[in-house]
Amino acid sequence: IEGDLALRIKPTRPYCLFTQYTDDRERTASTLRGDFYITGDRGFQDEDGYIWLVGRRDDIINSAGYRIGPFEVENALLEHDAVVEAAVVSPDPIRGEVVKAFVVLAPEYISHDQEALIKELQDYVKTVTAPYKYPRKMEFVPHLPKTISGKIRRNELRKKEWGQA
């Protein structure tokens, strides 16, 4: 069963763990439940006791009643030789969400027929993950927006898709 990931912070808070949002008590309070700090991540525990990260709560895509974590779709795309980098977001906040992938291609695939390559990548993802998770929309880009630490700025991609960029 998928759920929110949390860390026990009482009686002893782990060293170097988040303590509060500056000047925002409400937001700080929303991250605390009893003795636990809610990380904002979603995950599940398998039969062997391992915890698997599904994605950030605000990155989860709800498509046709399915909750889809972007990391699984991105990892499936990254297994294909054509893909150097990938980021998955939901392109429509109003009518419902579908999976859209932004893909940076390997140099030797840039001149390939784009429609055929999109179909190939979609079919590949269907074989690696549950078929309903495949990206129904795909856009090839020269690079992905990133933070200084190298994390993909999904928020920028969502804003671009939602016409707010």
Given a cut of 80, is residue 13 above it in pLDDT? no
Q: What is the pLDDT of residue 93?
A: 59
98 and 132 assigned to the same domain = yes
Same domain, 69 and 14: no
CATH number at residue 67: 3.30.300.30
Mean local confidence (pLDDT), 7-13: 78
**Last-in-domain residue among 20, 35, 56:** 56
Structural domain range at position 33: 2-56
Domain harbouring 41, CATH code: 2.30.38.10
Same domain? For 95 and 32 the reply is no
Q: What are the DSSP calls for 59-77, one per residue? A: G-EEETTEEE-HHHHHHHH
43 and 95 both lie in a single domain: no
Band of residue 47 on the pLDDT scale cut at 50, 70, 90: very high
Q: Are residues 21 and 36 in the same domain?
A: yes
Supply the pLDDT for residue 14: 66
Are 121 and 138 contained in the same domain?
A: yes
- Does 79 lie in the same domain as 38? no
Helices marked H in 54-139 — which ranges?
Answer: 70-78, 114-128
User: What does the alpha-carbon distance between residue 125 and residue 130 come to, in Å, rounded to a whole number?
Assistant: 8
Query: How many independent structural domains does the chain possess?
Result: 2
Q: Is the pLDDT of residue 134 over 80?
A: yes
The Cα 37–Cα 6 span in angstroms is 5
- If asked whether residues 74 and 136 sit together in one domain, one would say yes
Q: What is the pLDDT of residue 17?
A: 67
Beta-strand relationship, 100-105 and 137-140: parallel
Q: Do 34 and 79 belong to one domain?
A: no
Mean pLDDT, rounded, of the chain: 85
Q: Check whether 158 has a pLDDT greater than 60.
A: yes
pLDDT digits (tens, 9 = 90+) for 55-108: 777 777 778 778 888 888 999 999 999 999 999 988 765 556 788 999 999 999
Higher pLDDT, 165 or 157: 157
Does this model's pTM top 0.85? My answer is no
Residues 77 and 46 reside in one and the same domain: no
